[in-house]
Chain A
Amino acid sequence: MTRRDFLIAGGLFLTGFLPLGFSGPVLRPPGARRDFLARCIRCGQCIEACPYDTLRAMDITSGGMAHSPYIDPLRTPCYLCQQRGPDGIDRPISEFLRCGEVCPTGAIRKIKNTKDVLANVPEDMKIGISVLNRDLCLAWQYDSCGECYYNCPLKDRALRDFPPDMIFSESTGIRPWVDPRHCIGCGMCNYVCPVKEHVASEVMERSHKLSLFEARYAAMVRNLVGRAGPGVKLPAIRVTVRP
């Protein structure tokens, strides 16, 4: 290896770190510190310990962030280390939130997973915040949804019915809105929201049969997406990082 080869290889290696500065916001595990990337030694223990396999590792295209854990709420939301019993009540499955419990360098804080952790959520547990787009929302536009409201682990606190800016409602359906004070950003609403690409495109595909109900659903979604125009981000309720 000559010096020239060495410099070329070094330059290529360094360009691999470029995405560090140009990447969009990434959802980190609950309790991630501000200097998360510097502290994370990419040991993979949080990914291994995550009981619902929510945490995924970033790939090589993210350059210097490669192998650090992130949450993709469209694939798996964060269940906050809770197990839902047959009575519908969430109970903690571990003493601490698993990712913080196993983190060897303190990149993720250790958060106690007590019985009332969802009743009063510690501030540093918050992953992000959900943002609802009312123009895309089936509940707001067609009065025929409410999935996010019913599935939210903080139902009636993080996701509520009947927003304060609405004075009077004639409808009987849900009118969901996000309360930023309580929202953890676990991504459950993002996960269950039906306004998605594949639902929108299904109505066009005659190859597989949809039931009448599904067809109506898909048609509504397609209508909404079409009305909102191109370049719109789906689904209607999305998790972003906290400012």
Chain B
Amino acid sequence: MRGRPHGFKILYLRRFSQVITLAVIVVVPLLSMNPYDWSPSRLVQGHLPPPTVMPVSGDTWAFRISNFSLLHPVAFIEEVLSAKVIYVPALVAVAIPLLLTVIFGRVFCSFICPAGFIFELNQKTNGLMKKVGLQRDLYVRDLRLTFLVLLLILGVVLSVPVISLFDPPHVLGRELIYLFTHHSLSISGTGLLVAILLYETFFTKRTWCGSICPSGGALSEMGRLRILRISMDRDACTLCQKCNEVCPYFLEPMRLAEEGGFDWTKCDNCGLCRDHCPTGAIKYTLGYKGS
């Protein structure tokens, strides 16, 4: 039946996945916290309960349950480029995330990334500021690839994985680790997150994800040949412009049918346009389609 809106909203699935990820990166360091962290003297070893040894650790950058570990593709690339070595367990750990990215595209950004989740919720504050009149658009053009290439070269030259230092989802996870193990936060990490949040509140929304994030840029390059894409049924479209309004990266899903009218690399398959389409003209399609 043509022109019927979709019953199930992808948004619910996405929120579920995002909340689970956020819960995981909060709970995992909380579990490995020692019961006697506040004890004044830890020297008297024999009188203390055994410290916690959890089989699970990490965040979205690298995660581990017992012997099964996962690694962010960008972390792997950086490590290979800066150390000039391929470590086989890391290669095994990166396989699943890499495969998912190649098949489904940049879904890490839309379904998993905890920083992206917070920035997404922050869009509401941006809208509020717009109503009050404190918000002003300051659009940065897409510099993700530029930053990615520059930082990777810098990593090769300095032999330091540079993107790992300030990738926001990882910064968030790392701050939580610092918070629960040493009960402190790092200035650089917290400062970066607060700065991004402030920029995205008072200036253009989703600037980091859409124009700066080097690791997101790397993921979208990996997902160039993905098979999950949104597509549009031209006959069902009523030109209501709703999809153009909701797209977080200011892409124009209404121009999907046009040749070259849609920036495929920037789309992270978040499904907002699909959910908001009143006639159900925008759909997810599986299958290879040259971009």
For the complex, what is the distance from the CA of A59 to the CA of B178, rounded to whole Å?
11
Residue from B52, B53, B160, B170 within 8 A of A38 (CB atoms): B160
Whether B34 is near chain A, meaning CB under 8 Å from some CB there, is: yes
A77-85, A158-166, A211-219: which lies at the interface: A77-85
The answer on a CB contact under 8 Å between A51 and B34 is yes
A contact residues around B178 at 8 Å (CB): 44, 47, 57
Q: A41-B161, A42-B164, A64-B158 are in contact. Are A50 and B140 (CB under 8 A)?
A: no
Per-residue interface assignment for chain A, residues 166 to 205, with 1 indicating a CB less than 8 Å from any chain B CB and 0 otherwise: 0000000000000000000000000110000000000000
Whether A12 is near chain B, meaning CB under 8 Å from some CB there, is: no
Q: A48-B57, A60-B188 are in contact. Are A104 and B181 (CB under 8 A)?
A: no
B contact residues around A17 at 8 Å (CB): 158, 160
Residue from A1, A59, A64, A93 within 8 A of B187 (CB atoms): A59
For the complex, what is the distance from the CA of A50 to the CA of B90, rounded to whole Å?
21
The answer on a CB contact under 8 Å between B161 and A40 is yes
The answer on a CB contact under 8 Å between A35 and B177 is no
B58-66, B109-117, B245-253, B275-283: which lies at the interface: B58-66
Per-residue interface assignment for chain B, residues 163 to 202, with 1 indicating a CB less than 8 Å from any chain A CB and 0 otherwise: 0110000100110011011100011110000000000000
Of chain A, the residue at the smallest CB distance from B81 is A38
Whether A112 is near chain B, meaning CB under 8 Å from some CB there, is: no
- Minimum distance in angstroms from A57 CB to a CB of chain B: 6
**Interface size counted on chain A using CB atoms at 8 A:** 47
- Minimum distance in angstroms from A65 CB to a CB of chain B: 8
A contact residues around B85 at 8 Å (CB): 35, 39
B14-22, B42-50, B231-239, B263-271: which lies at the interface: B42-50
For the complex, what is the distance from the CA of A88 to the CA of B37, rounded to whole Å?
22
The answer on a CB contact under 8 Å between B182 and A42 is no
Residue from A1, A44, A93, A98 within 8 A of B59 (CB atoms): A44
**Interface size counted on chain B using CB atoms at 8 A:** 55
Whether B89 is near chain A, meaning CB under 8 Å from some CB there, is: yes
Pairs of residues from A and B, 10 with the lowest C-beta to C-beta distance, nearest first: A51-B51, A84-B45, A43-B62, A38-B159, A60-B188, A38-B83, A104-B62, A106-B87, A84-B46, A39-B83
The answer on a CB contact under 8 Å between A49 and B82 is no
B contact residues around A151 at 8 Å (CB): 43
- Minimum distance in angstroms from B75 CB to a CB of chain A: 5
A contact residues around B159 at 8 Å (CB): 35, 37-38
Q: 18 A–B contact pairs at CB < 8 A? A: A20-B160, A39-B82, A41-B164, A42-B164, A42-B170, A42-B174, A47-B177, A48-B180, A48-B181, A52-B42, A59-B187, A64-B160, A64-B162, A67-B189, A85-B46, A102-B57, A105-B79, A106-B90
Q: A66-B165, A66-B188 are in contact. Are A43 and B83 (CB under 8 A)?
A: no
Per-residue interface assignment for chain B, residues 199 to 215, with 1 indicating a CB less than 8 Å from any chain A CB and 0 otherwise: 00000000000000000
Residue from B57, B89, B180, B189 within 8 A of A106 (CB atoms): B89
For the complex, what is the distance from the CA of A37 to the CA of B173, rounded to whole Å?
20
Per-residue interface assignment for chain B, residues 211 to 242, with 1 indicating a CB less than 8 Å from any chain A CB and 0 otherwise: 00000000000000000000000000000000
The answer on a CB contact under 8 Å between B186 and A60 is yes
Whether B69 is near chain A, meaning CB under 8 Å from some CB there, is: yes
